[in-house]
Chains A and B, each alone.
Chain A
C-alpha cells in the first residue's frame, strides 16, 4: 500500500488540477488601528489574522468578523515565525532580549483567550523559533539540538514519532529536515544560504529558496523536482498544489516594486495575482481554505487578496 502511495505521489505532476487563478478583489483590513503591521498569518479556522509590527515586535490578532484588533503581546522578536496550535487557542513564540550584544531567547506559549503566558524555556542562546507539528507537540532547538514538548497546559518532554509532521529548520545556513525524529542536513543547490524552507502539506516535498539561485521544489532527499525561479517568501497552498510568492525588486536601498504570484508546484502554470505598481504586496500567506491570501504592503497595511479559482477540467 505504501508503495502505491509513493508511486501516486511521484506521478503527482500529471494529476494537478487544471485551474485558473486570478484576483477577485483586494480587501484592506478595516479599522486595524494606528500603526503599520507586517507578516500576516491566518488562524487555522480562517476567522482571524495574526500579524506583527515591523521588526517582529509583538503579536496582534484581528477578528475578521468583528473587525476587532487585539494586541496579544508587545515582546521583542515575538512576531518572527510564531506558530499556532491546531485549535487556534495557543500561540507559540520566541521572545528576545540582548545582553552585552548577545541574543537571549525565551520560548513561550500564549493562550489567546485568557492571555496567560507560559515560559517553555528561558534565556537560551541560539534558540530556534517553535514548530507546531501536530498532536499538541512543539519542537524547538537550542544550538541545533532538538527538544520536543507536548501538552495543552502543562508541557512535558515528548518525542517525535512517525505520526508527526516532518519539519525543517535552518542550521549552518543549510536545511535541517526532521522526519520521524531523524535529522537530515540538505543543501540541494550546493553550498549557499537556504531560506524560507517548508514541507508540503502532503509531507512529500520540500520548498525552499537558495539565495541568489532561486526557489525550488525538491523531494525529501533534496532532489530537485522543479524550479520556481525568482520567487521570494514561497508558501504552499493548503492543498499543496500551488505555491504563492512575492516578486520584489529593489534598488539596493529600498524596495521599488513587489507583486504576488501563484505557480503550480511543478511551475507549469503561473498567475500574476497583483499588478499594482504603486502598492508593494509582500509576504503572502494562504488562508486555510485556500481561496484568500493575506499580504502586507511595504508601508505596513494588511490586505486580503480574494482569489477567483476556476476549474478547467483535469488533464
Chain B
C-alpha cells in the first residue's frame, strides 16, 4: 500500500521531488574537447600544457566520479591521439545515438594570457536557450567551477549572443538532440592557471565541480562528503610571468609539497609544475589537521573544518628555512665572447632576501668601475649600474664574496665569480653637424642636422638636445625627425620660429643621448653658430609659387617616381605655399632636373636689376643653374649656387652678370647632380622676383634701437615703390596707405613683427603689396598724393608719397 502511495506521488508530482544522491538510469555524454597533440590542440609552450590533455584529464575524472554515483557515461574519447580529434558531426552523433539525457563538453579557454574567468556556453540567446535546461545547467556549472578554481569571474552565455552571430555557432551544439553545455573552466594561456591545469588533482577538482553541477541539475541530494584544497607558496618570492596579484598568483608556488592530513593520515605529494596545488577529496565532514612540508622550508600546519558538499580552502605560505645559506640563482651578463654592450648593468639574483650592505660590500669588479647599487625583487636581486660605460673590449671579472649575507645574516657558501667581455665600443659619436661649430651666415629658418655613428634611441633624447639664443633662452623647435641612415643615426629639427638675423645661437647635446645598446655620448657637446643678415624681397614678384602649374618639370638621370614638383604648404616665405621639388638621382652623376617657366619671362632691359629666388636648401651640395635666352642665343646656363645650406636663402643674380644684351628671357632653373653630392633631396622655391638689388649694407647688423619709418623709394613712383621701416622689439605693426581725403586704401602690414628692418613693396596697379607674411590686397590707384602710416605700440609715423601715371 505504501508503495502505491509513493508511486502515485511520483507520477503526480514529478517536479520538485528531491531524488536520492544516485544517478541510476541517467545517461550523460562527456566530450573532452579537442584531441591529440597537433597544431589545433592548443599548446602553451611556456608551461608545456596541451588543452587536449587537460580536457581529457577532467573528462576521465568526471566519468569516474559520476560512475561512482551509478551514472551511465558515454565518452566521446578516452585517449588523446590525433584520431581522437573527432569532427563535430561525429561528437553530436555519439550523443544522439546513445540517447543521453545530457551532453557536456569540457574545455579551457585562451585569450590574452592575462584573463582567467569561467565561461559556460549553451546554444541559443543568452535568455532564450534552445533547451531551457542548458541555461539552468550552465549556471550551476559556472558557479561550481568559479568557486573551485577561484577564477576572477563567471559567465553563462548563449552562443548566438556570445559570438554575436544571432544564430547557432558552436558546432558541438548543432543538431544535438538533448540539452548541452560547454565549459571553459579557466584560461590555459594565463601562465599560473596553465601550471595549475598540469596538476592532476586540479583537474579532478574541476571534475568534482561539474559533478556538483549535475547533482543540482538532476535535482539530487548534495554529496555528503567535502574536500580540502589549497596552494602552498613562498611569500618571499614572486613569479616572473604575468600574474593577477589580487588572486595571489604573483607569489611563487612551491613544488614537491608534502601535505599530510589527519585523521586518516592521508598524504598528498605535490608535482613539480609550479602550481603548489593540493587536494583531498571525499572527506567526511569534520575537523582536520594539515601538516605542510617542503624542502628548505619550515614545517607548518593548519586546522580546517570540512563541511558536506563544499571545498574548504587551506592555502599556506611556508617560511623559508632561514638557517640555510642563500644561493645565487643567476647573474647578468652571462659569460659570452664580445657580446656585452659597454653600457651594461650587472645583476646578481639570489634565492632569498639579502642584506643589502653585506652584498654591496662583497661586490667587486675588475677592471675597477664606479657605479651605484639598486635592488629589485624584494631585495633578492642587486643591480650595479656603472656611472659611465665600461671600457671597451675588456674582460671584466665580477666577484660576490662569501661575505654576502641573507637578511638573516647567513652568508653564501662560497665566493661567486663570473666574467664577461665588453664590445669594441663605449661611446656614441657625433660624426657631423649642420651647422658645424662656429659656422656663420646661416639661414634663420635652417634645418639643424646631427649625424651619429649609430641609430639613436628616442627614449634617451628627453631634455638632451637644446637650442639656445645668445641670452641662453631655450628656443622651441619643430619638425623633429629621428631616423637611421645605414649604420648611422640622424636627428633633424628646425627652430619653431625663424631665428632673427645676425645673432649667435648654440645647440647643446647632452651626454645622455644614447644608441639602442644604451651607449651614451657621455660628454656634452656645444655647437655655436650665427645667422646671416636680414634678407627681404627687393623686386617685383614674377612668380609666387602658390601653384606649380606655371612650371614644367623635365628630368634626366632621375628616378621618375621619386622626382616630383608640387606646390606645398610645409615651407614658405610668403603666401600659403611654395614650390616643392623632391628628387632622386638614379645614377652616380649626370642627373638633372629642369623647371621651365612656361611664360618665358622677358626682363626689362636694365642691367642694374637683379633677379632673385628664395630657395630652401637641402644641404645636398648639388648645384642650381638658371637658363636664359639672350638675344638670339637660346638656353645659356648660368651657375647660381651650390646647395650647401638648409633653410630659406634669397639667391640673387645680377642681370649684368648674365649679359649686357638688351633682350633676356628667363627659361628655366635646374638642379644638376654633383658627383660628391647627395643622390636625393627636397628643395623649396618661393617668390621669384626681379628688381633693384638691396644695397650691400648688412642691415641686420645695424643697431635697431628705435622705431623708424623711412621715406619710400623711388618717389614719385610708377608703378611701384618700396617702403622700409624698423622695429626695435617684437611688436604688433600696421602699415597702411591713405588717400588725400584720409580714406584707407591699402593695408601693407598688419601683424606681429620681430625686432628688425623690413621693406614692403607698394604697387599702384593690380599687383600684390605685401610685407613678409602680410596680407595681400588688390587695388587700382589713380595719380596723386598718398600717405603711409606706421603704427607700432605708441609709435605712429606718417610719410607722403606721389604716384605719377
Please report A residues at the B interface, Cβ cutoff 8 Å.
36, 38-39, 54-56, 77, 80, 96, 98-103, 125-128, 170, 173, 193-196, 209, 211-213, 232-233, 246, 248-255, 282, 299
Q: Which of A100, A250, A252 contacts B219 (CB 8 A)?
A: A100
What are 6 contact pairs spanning A and B, CB under 8 A?
A: A55-B131, A96-B177, A96-B178, A101-B218, A125-B25, A249-B87
Check A101 against B219 for contact (C-beta < 8 Å).
yes
Q: Is B27 part of the contact surface with A, judged by Cβ < 8 Å?
A: yes
Please report the C-alpha to C-alpha distance between residue A170 and residue B169 in the assembled complex, in whole angstroms: 28
Tell whether A77 pairs with B177 under 8 Å between CB atoms, given A193-B76, A233-B89: yes
* Contact of A55 with B83 at beta-carbon distance under 8 Å, contacts A101-B219, A102-B101 already known: no
Across chains A and B, which 6 residue pairs bring their CB atoms closest together, nearest first? A195-B93, A170-B97, A100-B219, A212-B83, A101-B218, A193-B94
- Is the C-beta of B168 less than 8 angstroms from some C-beta in chain A? yes
Chain B interface size, under 10 / 10 to 19 / 20 to 34 / 35 or more: 35 or more
Task: Mark B residues whose CB is within 8 Å of A.
Answer: 14-15, 17, 19, 25-27, 33-35, 40, 74, 76-77, 83-91, 93-94, 96-102, 123, 130-131, 133, 137, 167-171, 174-179, 217-219
How many Å lie between the Cα of A127 and that of B174 in the bound state?
22
Partner of A54, one of B97, B174, B178, B218: B174
The answer on a CB contact under 8 Å between A195 and B25 is: no
Distance (Å) between the CB of B95 and the closest chain A CB? Answer: 10
Contact across chains for B98 and A211 when beta carbons are under 8 A apart = no
Chain B hits for A96, CB < 8 A: 177-178
Given contacts A100-B219, A173-B74, A253-B171, contact A55 B97 (CB under 8 A): no
Given A126-B99, A251-B40: A100 touches B14 (CB 8 Å cut-off): yes
Residues of B within 8 A of A193 (CB): 74, 76, 90, 94, 98
Contact A254 B170 (CB under 8 A): yes
Contact of B94 among A55, A77, A211 (CB under 8 A): A211
**Which residues of the other chain, A, contact B218 by a CB distance below 8 angstroms?**
100-102
Q: Which of B14, B169, B177, B219 contacts A56 (CB 8 A)?
A: B177
Q: Which residues of A contact B88 (CB under 8 A)?
A: 248, 250, 252, 254-255
- A99 in contact with B87 given A55-B123, A55-B175, A56-B177 (CB within 8 Å): no
Apart from A101-B218, A209-B90, list 9 A-B contacts with CB within 8 A: A55-B175, A80-B177, A101-B137, A126-B99, A127-B99, A128-B99, A212-B77, A212-B83, A232-B90
Bound form: Cα–Cα A126–B98 in Å: 9
CA distance A98 to B103 in the complex (A): 14
Q: A80-B177, A232-B90, A254-B171 are in contact. Are A100 and B17 (CB under 8 A)?
A: yes
A195: chain B residues within 8 A (beta carbon):
90, 93-94, 97
The distance in angstroms between the C-alpha atoms of A282 and B89, with both chains bound, is 10
Rounded to whole Å, the gap between the CB of A11 and the closest CB of chain B is 33
The answer to whether A252 and B169 touch across the interface, beta carbons within 8 angstroms, is no
Shortest CB distance B278–A (Å): 32
Find B76's partner among A211, A248, A250 (CB 8 Å cutoff): A211
Q: If the complex has contacts A103-B101, A254-B169, are A248 and B89 also in contact, measured as CB distance less than 8 A?
A: yes
Q: How far is the CA of A96 from the CA of B93 in the complex (A)?
A: 17
Given the complex, which residues of A lie within 8 Å of B174, measured CB to CB? 54-55, 255
Selected contact of A99 from candidates B14, B89, B91, B177, CB within 8 Å: B14
Give the chain B neighbours of A253 by CB distance below 8 A: 169-171
Complex Cα distance A54/B194, Å? 36
CB distance from B90 to the nearest CB of A (A): 5
Shortest distance between the CB of A105 and any CB in chain B (Å)? 8
Closest chain B CB from A302 CB (angstroms):
15
Tell whether, in the assembled complex, residue B98 and residue A173 are in contact, meaning their CB atoms are under 8 Å apart. Answer: yes
Q: Is A126 within 8 A of B94, CB to CB?
A: no
Q: A173-B74, A193-B74, A252-B33 are in contact. Are A103 and B99 (CB under 8 A)?
A: yes
Nearest CB on B from A107, distance (A): 13
Is the Cβ of A101 less than 8 Å from the Cβ of B101? yes
**When chains A and B are docked, how far (Å) is the Cα of A257 from the Cα of B70?**
40
In the complex formed, the residue of A with least CB distance to B216 is: A101
The residues of A that contact B94 with a CB separation of less than 8 Å are: 173, 193, 195, 211
- CB neighbours (8 Å) of A128 from chain B are 99
Task: Report Cα–Cα, A261/B84, bound state, in Å.
Answer: 23
Residues A98 and B133 in contact in the complex (CB < 8 Å), given A212-B90, A246-B89, A254-B171? yes
Contacts of A100 in B (CB 8 A): 14-15, 17, 19, 218-219
Query: A32 to chain B: closest CB distance in Å?
Result: 17
Is the CB–CB distance between B89 and A98 below 8 Å? no
CB distance from B482 to the nearest CB of A (A): 44
Give the residues in chain A near B219, CB-CB below 8 Å.
Answer: 100-101
A127 to B167, CA, bound (A): 30
A252 in contact with B40 (CB, 8 Å) = yes
Asked whether A101 and B217 contact (CB < 8 A) given A212-B83, A212-B84, A252-B40, the answer is yes
Task: Give min CB distance, B325 to chain A, whole Å.
Answer: 51
Whole-angstrom CA separation of A249 from B390 in the bound complex: 60
**Interchain CB contact under 8 A, B177 and A55:** yes
Residues of the B chain whose Cβ atoms lie less than 8 Å from the Cβ of A209: 90, 93
Chain B residues in 8 Å Cβ range of A211: 76, 86, 90-91, 93-94
Which residues of chain A are within 8 angstroms of B87 by Cβ–Cβ distance? 232, 248-250
Find chain B residues with CB under 8 A from A36 CB: 167
A170 to B93, CA, bound (A): 11
Q: Write the nearest CB–CB distance from A292 to chain B, whole angstroms.
A: 22
Taken together as a complex, chains A and B put the C-alpha atoms of A233 and B15 apart, in Å, by 37
The complex places the Cα of A96 from the Cα of B102 at a distance, in Å, of 13
Min Cβ gap A287→B in Å is: 22
- State A101–B218 Cα separation when bound (angstroms): 5
State the CA gap A212–B100 with chains docked (Å).
20
Residue of A with least CB distance to B84: A212
Please measure, in the bound complex, the distance between the C-alpha atom of A213 and the C-alpha atom of B90, giving whole angstroms. Answer: 11
Known: A101-B219, A103-B178, A251-B40. A196 touches B171 (CB 8 A): no
- Cα A255 to Cα B173 in complex, Å, equals 12
CA distance in complex: A96, B90 (Å): 22
A55 to chain B, nearest CB (A): 5
Interchain CA distance A36-B168 in the complex, whole Å: 11
Q: Which residues of B are found within 8 Å of A254, using beta-carbon distances?
A: 88, 169-171
Taken together as a complex, chains A and B put the C-alpha atoms of A127 and B170 apart, in Å, by 27
> B99 near A212 (CB under 8 angstroms)?
no
> How many Å from the CB of B119 to the closest CB on chain A?
13
- Enumerate chain A residues within 8 angstroms of B34, measured Cβ to Cβ: 252
Q: How far is the CB of A93 from chain B (nearest CB, A)?
A: 12
Distance in angstroms from B49 CB to nearest chain A CB is: 17
User: Shortest distance in angstroms between B184's beta carbon and chain A's nearest beta carbon?
Assistant: 11
Q: Report which residue of A55, A170, A255 has the largest number of chain B beta carbons within 10 angstroms of its beta carbon.
A: A55
C-alpha spacing A38/B85, complex, angstroms: 25
Q: Which residues of A contact B130 (CB under 8 A)?
A: 54-55
Which residues of the other chain, A, contact B131 by a CB distance below 8 angstroms?
55, 98
Kindly provide the distance from the CB of B160 to the nearest chain A CB, expressed in whole angstroms. Answer: 12
Minimal beta-carbon separation of B53 from chain A (angstroms): 15
Q: How far is the CB of A126 from chain B (nearest CB, A)?
A: 6
**Cα of A134 to Cα of B14 in the assembled complex, Å:** 37
**CA separation between A103 and B76, bound complex, in Å?**
20
Residues of chain A lying within 8 A (CB to CB) of residue B170: 253-254
**Are B96 and A80 interface neighbours, CB within 8 A?**
yes
Inside 8 A of B133's CB, which chain A residues have their CB?
98, 101
Residues of A within 8 A of B40 (CB): 251-252
> Which of the listed residues A128, A194, A195 has the most CB atoms from chain B within 10 Å of its own CB?
A195
> How distant is the Cα of A212 from the Cα of B218 in the complex, in angstroms?
31
B19 contacts which chain A residues (CB < 8 A)?
100
Task: List the B side residues contacting A232 at CB < 8 Å.
Answer: 87, 89-90, 93
- CB neighbours (8 Å) of A173 from chain B are 74, 94, 98
A36, A128, A209, A254 — which one has the most chain B CB atoms within 10 A of its CB? A254
